Structure 1
Amino acid sequence: MSDFLLKSLSVKNFRSIKGTINVPLDANVVLVHGENGAGKTSLLSAIELALTGKVQSLLRADRTYSTQLLFRGATDGRVSVAVDEQGESREFGSSINENGINTLSNFEDDLADFFSERAFLPQALLSQLLQIYQESSSSMDSPLARFVGDLLGLDRLDALEGGLQMLKDVRNIRKSSETWVEVESEVDRLNVSSKSKSIFRAESQGKIDALLLELQERLLVFELDKEASENNFQELIELALIPAHEQELRSTIRRQRELSAIRQQIEAASTFSQADYASMSSEAVEVSSAYELWKSNHLNTIEGLEKRFLYLLPRSSLSGDFLEFWEESLKHLTTEKERIEKRLSAARADRTDSSVDREAVSVSEKQLKIIDEELSTIPSKSENLASLLAELSGYINDEICPVCDRDFSELEADNLTEHVHSKVRHLSASAERLLALGRARNDEETRLRSASKRIDERQARLLPDEEVNSLERRHSDVQAVVLATKDCSDILERGRSLRAMEVGTRRRLSDFQSMNSTLTAARETLQAFASDIGVDLSLLKDSLSNLDAHIGEVLSAREKAHQRCASAQTRIRELKSDLLRLVDERSAQDAEIAELEGELKRTTNAFERGQDLRKQAADLRTIVDSVRSGIIRSEFNDRLNHLWRDLFVRLAPDEPFVPAFSVPKSRTERLQPKLITNFRNGGDAGGTPGAMLSAGNLNTAALTLFLALHLSVPQKLPWLILDDPVQSMDDVHISNFAALLRTLSKEHNRQVMIAVHDRQLFEYLRLELSPAFPEDTLLTLEMARSEDQDTRCLAQRISFKADSTFGQVA
């Protein structure tokens, strides 16, 4: 046998397998039999899960298959496989729970891929195998590309081609090489920066030229008619800034403000005339006489009102004196009167309500006394006694008392039954009266408590008699002051009006006298102001308006001249600052442009070297692809197709169409073979296998393709595990297939494991694959499961036995 040997398998609650089964696998050939649903496919899938950590056929059908592997109703599961590797025992396996698969120990990636693609053929994959390879893409990760790598040993060429693949498109280089992207981006950035700096430099130079031209125009204000340039603009600016025009301008503006103030004084002093002064004087005498007359008649009355107000409301504050704000004092008095009236009204109401409540208390107490007296006369257990007598009346049959056995007829009264009934009626009426009196007493107690509570509450806020008397006296005093103030309202209003008129006339007279003095002083001030600023007044008439206008014209002319020069100097200072800044910026820009051009040259040279390397790599990739394509075409036509043809013809000897891969004769960038059918006796190629072969031969084509792929590549695992591959085969195909399996097992040292559901086929294969030499072994596994029992697997080992029949004959 080989270096690798499957020794045993342990499965617990996996897919359709219920419970735990332990299966031996250490034989050259392992035959598995079971009815549909007995667990054959689950058994083979358990081997794949234990070795690779996944079930490839289920993964193709459902990405979330791992959550469905656990047997329904179970909480945990496990699969494990023991493998003999070069005499050393190794165990691989995975655990299963409701959330999925937990890998314990699996094959390495290369062995796992080989097992899933070259050693194990699930039943679901058999019908899809041709389609998978027919539709396989040209990428290096496709099943066809991986097979070519294993078949031809083109690892180095594949690695070289894969490494050079990204060089085909510069976008791939950008994705994989940060340096390339950085250099390429740096070249673009430097080009953009260099152009941008050049544009900014040209803009700066244009601004400098425009500012020099404006400076030359500003210098004409100072009669400096010279051409301004970058070499002499600072000297020209120093010459223009020597005169102190700004200081003179500020002095002139200050003088204008002083003249404006003098003008305002003159205008204000000129608003009154002498006639106005006489009229105001006469009006002032009349108003003063009327006001003095009013004071002599009413001042004592008004002062008396004010004293009474302050006595009653000493804490009230008026906005001014009493004469001016007598309405406000009247509001305060009215508010105080209303407050006192509210307190007196509440006190009277409390006294009245208290008397009513005390009367209610007296009545309730009397009623309670009467009820209590009546309750004392009624037995408290009348109702119980009435019930007892009513029940006792049922036992009276004659005049003999059932309690004391006395003859009631001796009393010469009514009979005993009528006497008992009368007592029952009397006692029932007493019970009803007792209940009525109880309810009446509760009502009277409630009224008594309510009235007592109101009395306590009113007693707490009831005012003493002294305080009530004091409030009544204060109310009388406030009422008297209110009435007196209202009676004197006309007098108060007249006095307030006369006093206001008297104060106003006196103020206007004072203002007129002040303005007349101001007008005289203003003339002297204006003349001194004109002399101070150097204005000649000898030719002007002695008029304030003429003098004011002439001084204003002189100052306005001076302001315009100084304003023009000061504005030119301010702008020249700004031009100087802007020119110096722009010259410095242009120098810095020249330095940056020179540095950028040097860096751009270095970066461009580096990027061009990278482009040359990319071209050389592209040429090398073309050579690699050409060599690889030639090897692939040769191997596909001479090796794989030849092996596939031999296997297919061996199983289907009467089929005229043979499936094969068609590889283009011309060189292509990628391997893109197609599945076709060839005539067995030569001729043009036919269509795809799906279009030319029957269902049985199409199944045979897929099976022989899997075997050809398994035999074509270097042997990593000497195992062939097939899940029911002969479902559509006839007897001839099955016979040839059994012979092929015997050859693979006996001559090619493959450990074969095959599962079938047909009993006759199982017996036939057991006979055909029986041991042929002493080291050869056959192991049969028969699986069964019922609804209420765990899955069972019966193993039987068949060893080699020498046939002694012909020896005895000899």
Structure 2
Amino acid sequence: MAPRLKFLKVEDFRSIRGPAGVSLDAPAVLIHGPNGTGKTSLLSSIELALTGSVPSLARLDRDYMAYLPHKLAKNGLGRVSIQAEGVGSKTEASLEINGQAIVGSALLDGDQSRFYLERCYLAQVTLGRLLEIYEHQDNRDTASPLTRFVKEMLGLDALDSLIDGLHAAGDVRRFRESAPHFWAARADAPMLERGVDEATEIEQACRDEMIKTENDLRELLGPQFVADGPIDIEALRAVVKSDIEERETKLADLARIRRDLAAAKAQLLEASTSEEEGERIAAEQVSSATRDAFARWRSVAGQQLEVLLRSIQKKFTDVVSVDVSPATAHAKALAIVSSALSRAQTALTNDDEIIRSLSGAQVSVQQGQGRLKLIDEQLADAGGANRALAEALATISSHIENEICPVCSRNFAEISEEQLASHVSEEVARLVAVAGRVEALVRDRATTAAAVVATQRQEADLFARRLPNDRRDAILLELADLTEWMNALDSLADAASNGGRLWEEAKQAAERLSVLRSRISSISGLRAELVSYGQRLSLQPFPADVPLEEIVDEILTQVQYRSAQEAKSGDQGDRALRLLDKLEVNQRELDNATIDLATAFEDERRTTALRQESERRIAVAKGLLAQAQAVRADEARRVFNKELNAVWRDLFIRLAPDEAFVPAFALPSIPGRAVEAVLETHYRSGGKGGNPRAMLSAGNLNTAALTLFLGLHLSVSPALPWLVLDDPVQSMDDVHIAQFAALLRTLKQHGRQIIIAVHDRQLFDYLTLELSPTYNGDRLITIELGRDSDGMTTAPWSLMSFRPDRAIAA
């Protein structure tokens, strides 16, 4: 069963107001009506019902859907339905239009819809576009009417839009303006790599410095303090401090033993002489007198000094009381207070200097970081400029012979009065200068970054040496106390000196008397004391016959040796604490450098990944562009082939038998350009003609356009044997119209269903006569469109069947 349109119902669609139903069940359907009554709207409703859209209107206005319902339609809805046979399983389709969307499914599937739009339906607006073909000076221009017509006929608009959109993928230089971040990423890649290298060098330097400090610490303390593996700084610092305190305790104990030994040695020397009884009595009298004098001094001036010394003893336990010796106690207190005062003043002075140096270092770091930021901004501003581009331009300049660009083939004189060669030379010079500045900025940045790191290390060292705020406050308070004590000690200097003299006289007298009284008993108890000292020092027991002098000398030698050893170990402990402080600073610097390195790696990785993804997408776009161009070329060759030219030639000659020229299509193949169909004229006797505008008359131009569409329809197997034409005979004379009517009659006889809309009454009557039924089964439907008194559309239709001519038969 051949496909045939059967019936059409339209309601409130475009210029058709109200409901209208017409039969299409005939080989030929003629539609007539004055302008504005809905002829084109009726054909557009057929297009909508069959394909689900109205491409003939969409090409003119993207918002055409808003105007499909009649402006006075009920509820703003338009409706279209059509019946057909032989087009598949569906025989009817109904659609509803609300001004925003089309609801419902079309009668034809995708391939059938495309065939109908390409080769079955010639809208009036499309025929009008065909008449512009010969009015354009360059038919090969992608914006020419011919190219636009080809796109409309073949549905290449979307494909061409895809090709245009993918044009930039052909050359990455085209992304300089459209994708500046991609171009900048390509240019910044070397700088990011250098940043990673610099961060790696800094991190390795910090790591090496930390390893050196750890090795020095292990060499100093030995494996008994520092085991293999990571060093716990705080735990090791606590151990070292504990060891230092223990050694200080041992040194103090050794010092006491050394003093006792010195006293024992002096006692042995004094024991070698003997005194008489009279000397003892005289010594007792002198001792009593000196003791009374000292007591009188102590009750007055000595009381003030004793109160002052007790106050100082709360801070410094080494300060002795007046019982030892007023002068000695005063001198010792004065020395201790003076030394402490000097230390406090020195500590504050040093801390002030450290604070000033730290402030200067912080300012230097901020200035350096500001300098780095400025350099980075200047590098960013100069992004994309490099010597390689300048060399490429210099290479291109050798191929410049005139004002035509050797890259894009454009005439530079059209956009500038400057010569192209001069412009390229200036650009090369500019790029070389900018590239040199970028290299200088990179060197400057490396130098500045190294200086900032060195200053940051100095800053960290100064910060570690700076006094804590609470410690500084304590020193300030201590300084005030020390100053007051110094003043008090200075005021009591004379009294202390007098008391010291009295104390010394009483002491000497008492000692003299004590020596005389206990010389024998003291010597007998000295050996036991020396033996106990030897046991405390873990020495071998001394034989009983060894003189006491030798025992004292031996023990004193051991004490001096061990004191020297403990003092040396104490110095190692102090150095260990300094190394631990340095190691702590090294650890912070390494942590910061590791973070900077990770950041640099991440920046490079992210930028590289984005650049690789962009390059991958560009490669995909290139492949898609090539495929789209190939599909477009194949589509053009599929339609505009030799068979189409042959059919077009036959149809044109049939309608214009006296014309010396015939139109034809050609598909010139130009490397690097899209395959575009172009129009030519040929002599009927052979050979190409001249410009088509000079070859064909206005009437034959319309004939060429009309026969072109018929050729598109007839050059392939008729999937849909329908021809729907909207007022096709424009600028034709009677002869051409007669030839066209004969052609339509022939097409009808060969199984084509023809639907034509005309507005001229005489032409309508003529075509009604020419297409009237000529055999049994042949039919003709005529539709007269109009409006009633209320403005509603009227569409009465008439059916003509074949009737034998009885008069001639008789």
TM-score where L is the length of structure 2: 0.49
TM-score where L is the length of structure 1: 0.49
Which has the larger Rg? 1
